[in-house]
Amino acid sequence: MLLSTILASIGVFLLVGGTLLLVDPRAPKHEAIKTGGLAGGAIIALYALWLNDRRRKVEEARQEIESQRIDHDRSRVADERFARAVELLGHETAQVRVGAMHALAGLAKSRTEYTQTVLDILCAYLRQPYRKTKNDPEEIELEVRLTSQRLIEDLLPRLEEESPPIYDLNLTKAHLEFMDLSYRQVGDLYLRVAHFEDSNSFHHMKIHGHFYVTEAVMTGRLHMHHTEIVGRAWFSRFKARGLAIFTETKFGGETKFADSEWTDVKADGCTFAVEADLPEAWRN
């Protein structure tokens, strides 16, 4: 390519210079040589520009390949970390399980494509059968579960965030104690057949999807005031054996209370977009 360019430059030099001398034999020869040299030099300059552009494209392609390689390596390392952390969730030592949960949460924060999966895994841990026993006087397993709850809260977008990614939570049959999702946003929130003990907080939330708490049992306090539920809210066969606070909560979809039981309810200022058949405790 370089040889062809040099030959083309010489040819243009001879052609331009010779043409000028033929057209005007009286023109100074040095002017013809100068003009021919400029024309030949332009060919060399165009070649240099083309060569620089080619080098730039080759460098960009090299950087793109390197970037893809780095992303691939990061994905491979992340996948390995994820698999190892999931494996350690079944470890018999509580401290190891806690460490595995923190590893998963850290992965979800650094690579958001893992967030929903990590939330699903943390929820699945809480869905495992659990009952307080005298064999656990230091409540070690409870501390592991509380860690899972706190990490779920930490991974959810805050209420004041605009257009955040929305994640679903499936806590069906979960045992929840001191769960606190206040000032958070979620998609669908499934709490079917869950058991709420002590105090659990779902106040000042926005639930963009549906809220199901059918057949769940609450033996402590449920704080769900100043919350907005965009979709359906089903409390069918829900048993509330303590104080449930729904002050100023907005129900944007169909709401069902069939066969639900309520000991004490505070529902001042609640609004229903779809007319609901309220239990007696909600009317007082």
pLDDT, tens digit, for every residue of 113-156? 999 999 999 999 999 988 776 666 557 888 999 999 999 999 99
pLDDT bin (cut points 50, 70, 90) of residue 244 is: very high
155, 172, 191: which is the final residue of a domain? 155
Q: Indicate if 165 and 246 belong to the same structural domain.
A: yes
Where residue 237 falls (left for φ over 0; alpha for ψ -120 to 50; beta otherwise) is left
Q: Is residue 82 part of a domain?
A: no
pLDDT of residue 181: 97
pLDDT of residue 169: 98
Q: Indicate if 14 and 113 belong to the same structural domain.
A: no
| DSSP helix/strand/coil, 220 | coil
pLDDT of residue 90: 86
Q: Indicate if 137 and 238 belong to the same structural domain.
A: no
Average pLDDT on 223-228 reads 97
Q: Which residue has the tokens 């606070």?
A: 245
Q: How many angstroms separate the Cα of 49 from the Cα of each of 20, 45, 46, 57, 248? A: 28, 6, 5, 12, 69
Q: Indicate if 220 and 198 belong to the same structural domain.
A: yes
Q: Is residue 95 part of a domain?
A: yes
pLDDT bin (cut points 50, 70, 90) of residue 28 is: low
Q: Is residue 179 part of a domain?
A: yes
31, 65, 99: which is the final residue of a domain? 65
Give the range of the structural domain holding residue 132, as residue numbers without chain letter.
89-155
pLDDT of residue 96: 93
Q: Indicate if 146 and 186 belong to the same structural domain.
A: no
pLDDT tens digit string along 191-210? Answer: 999 999 999 999 999 999 99
Q: Indicate if 124 and 236 belong to the same structural domain.
A: no
CB-based contacts of 206: which residues, under 8 Å, 6+ apart?
A: 159, 185, 186, 227, 228, 230
Q: Is residue 76 part of a domain?
A: no
Q: Indicate if 210 and 113 belong to the same structural domain.
A: no
Q: Indicate if 164 and 272 belong to the same structural domain.
A: yes
pLDDT over 70 (residue 25): no
Q: Indicate if 250 and 206 belong to the same structural domain.
A: yes
| DSSP helix/strand/coil, 174 | coil
- Domains in the chain, number: 3
115, 135, 155: which is the final residue of a domain? 155
pLDDT tens digit string along 57-94? Answer: 777 777 776 666 666 556 666 568 788 888 888 888 98
